[in-house]
Amino acid sequence: MNTSGHAADAVRDDTAGLRLHPFRGIRYVPERVGSLAAVTSPPYDVVVRPDGLLHLESADPHNIVRLILPQAVTAGTRHRKAAVTMDRWLAEGVLAPDPHPALYVYEQRGDGVLQRGIIGALELTRPDEGVVLPHEDVMPHVVEDRAALMRTTAANLEPLLLTYPGDGDGADAVIGRAVLREPLLATTTEDGFHHRLWAVTDPAEQAAVTTELARHQALIADGHHRWATYLRLRDEHPSPGPWNQGLVLLIDTVRYPLRVRAIHRLLSRLPVADALTAVGDAFRVRRVERPLPEALEALAGAASEGNAFLLAGDGAFHLLDRPDPALLARTVRTDRPEAWRTLDATVLHATLLEHVWRVPDAPEDIAYIHDTAAAVAQAERRGGTAVLMHPVREEVVRDLARQGVTMPRKSTSFGPKPATGLVLRSLALD
């Protein structure tokens, strides 16, 4: 599936496009860690389970999760702990900067997917400049936490995932030549994905990449909170310098289409029985006596005809569809495009969460979980409700982004996401 299409068309003639800069990447020294796979992690917002965090911390004492999700009693202590840990690893030679500024070619291969892109330091722009297009809202408390972590560590610890429609020239040619060389690193993570990284240090090749990208705009596929964090920190450091750039991975989705998956909701304080009682006649409710894969097929069938959700947490599945049109008319705001008003995420938050269930929009009440089975398991363990979502069609994401309309937060999960820990950016080196 092409997750870009026209989501990131060529920029207007009067607009500067993407401005990507080389940087001196900080990478793990293989001889100082158990293995490169053991020190990597998924992005911070995918590591949501305490057991998942413990698993990563136990994989290697230098796992990157100790920097992106440091553990301590208070937020300030957590962030200082990450900064101290990073400084110590640099002093001990666990991490080391590359000798020359580079753009990095990054390849992921697995699960029938081949994805290649360019990692670099992207010049920051506001959404109204039309260069980098967000498509989701953000949660202020998450932006504040990420900003405090980046501010304290003075580092971009993991790249955002951005997409653009390449023209088969420039960057693609550079990538094609790079993958024929010996990589800087190669590793296979426990999810079965193979990762390789190359440094592009030749000025001519760097220029070929930056010249092509200057003709394009990009869609934020993953990392809205980190992009908002970059912008906040740039405002705190208004003079030109390293804070005016942020670490990104740019994927040409004409050449390497991404996948779009749903992000599910976990309502820890709302039992399934209470959720169903509150729904009443607002939606059609059917019990689905099938295993999870087949229950998800039922959800997909219902979602093809309108808004639909699958509730889990009591050992069964309950399909909600065919919402009361009058209820939607009362609860969904009308000053947005039809495509936004009919999104499952819009109806979930405006109608079910706010009006029917009256669940506060707070992290202690709503958690966002990418893995379907994990969402169900946590709901059953906590006596809460998992609301399983069907993925949004990529053309809807694209069209709303082009209109400057953001979707409810955590509406989509594009992937595969870059592994965290393969290359970091220190703002002290730029």
Does residue 4 surpass a pLDDT of 50?
no
What pLDDT, on the 0 to 100 scale, is given for residue 49? 53
- Contact assessment for residue 198 and residue 104, using Cβ atoms and an 8 Å cutoff: yes
| Lowest mean pLDDT segment, chosen from 5-9, 92-96, 171-175 | 5-9
Q: With the C-alpha atoms ordered 16, 18, 21, 22, is the resulting torsion angle positive or negative?
A: negative
Q: Which pLDDT band, with edges at 50, 70 and 90, does 6 fall under? A: very low
Neighbours of 98 (CB within 10 A): 17
What pLDDT, on the 0 to 100 scale, is given for residue 139? 87
What pLDDT, on the 0 to 100 scale, is given for residue 391? 92
Neighbours of 289 (CB within 10 A): 9
Does residue 11 surpass a pLDDT of 60?
no
Does residue 217 surpass a pLDDT of 50?
yes
Provide the 3-class DSSP secondary structure of residue 247: strand
How confident is the model over 340-346, as a mean pLDDT? 95
Does residue 239 surpass a pLDDT of 70?
yes
Per-residue model confidence as pLDDT tens digits over 48-65: 555 677 778 778 899 999
How confident is the model over 350-357, as a mean pLDDT? 97
Higher pLDDT, 408 or 324: 324
Provide the 3-class DSSP secondary structure of residue 268: coil
Per-residue model confidence as pLDDT tens digits over 69-118: 998 888 889 999 999 999 999 999 999 999 999 999 999 999 899 999 99
Helix 224-236 and helix 140-153, axial crossing angle in degrees, nearest 10: 60
Does residue 12 surpass a pLDDT of 70?
no
What pLDDT, on the 0 to 100 scale, is given for residue 51? 60
Does residue 214 surpass a pLDDT of 90?
yes
Does residue 360 surpass a pLDDT of 80?
yes
CA torsion, points 55, 59, 62, 65, in degrees to nearest 10?
-30
Does residue 190 surpass a pLDDT of 60?
yes
Does residue 47 surpass a pLDDT of 80?
no
Does residue 281 surpass a pLDDT of 60?
yes
Mean pLDDT of the residues in the chain? 91
Per-residue model confidence as pLDDT tens digits over 405-425: 888 888 888 889 999 999 999
- Helix%, strand%, coil% for the chain, nearest 5: 35, 25, 40
What pLDDT, on the 0 to 100 scale, is given for residue 2? 41
Which CA distances in Å does 215 have to 12, 18, 149, 210, 408? 9, 7, 33, 9, 29
What pLDDT, on the 0 to 100 scale, is given for residue 48? 54
Higher pLDDT, 288 or 127: 288
Nearest-5° Cα angle at 421, 36 to 216? 125
Q: Which pLDDT band, with edges at 50, 70 and 90, does 303 fall under? A: very high
% of the chain beyond a pLDDT of 90: 74
Q: Which pLDDT band, with edges at 50, 70 and 90, does 399 fall under? A: confident
- Contact assessment for residue 24 and residue 97, using Cβ atoms and an 8 Å cutoff: yes
Q: Which pLDDT band, with edges at 50, 70 and 90, does 184 fall under? A: very high
Per-residue model confidence as pLDDT tens digits over 244-276: 999 999 999 889 988 888 999 999 999 999 999
What pLDDT, on the 0 to 100 scale, is given for residue 286? 97
Higher pLDDT, 366 or 50: 366
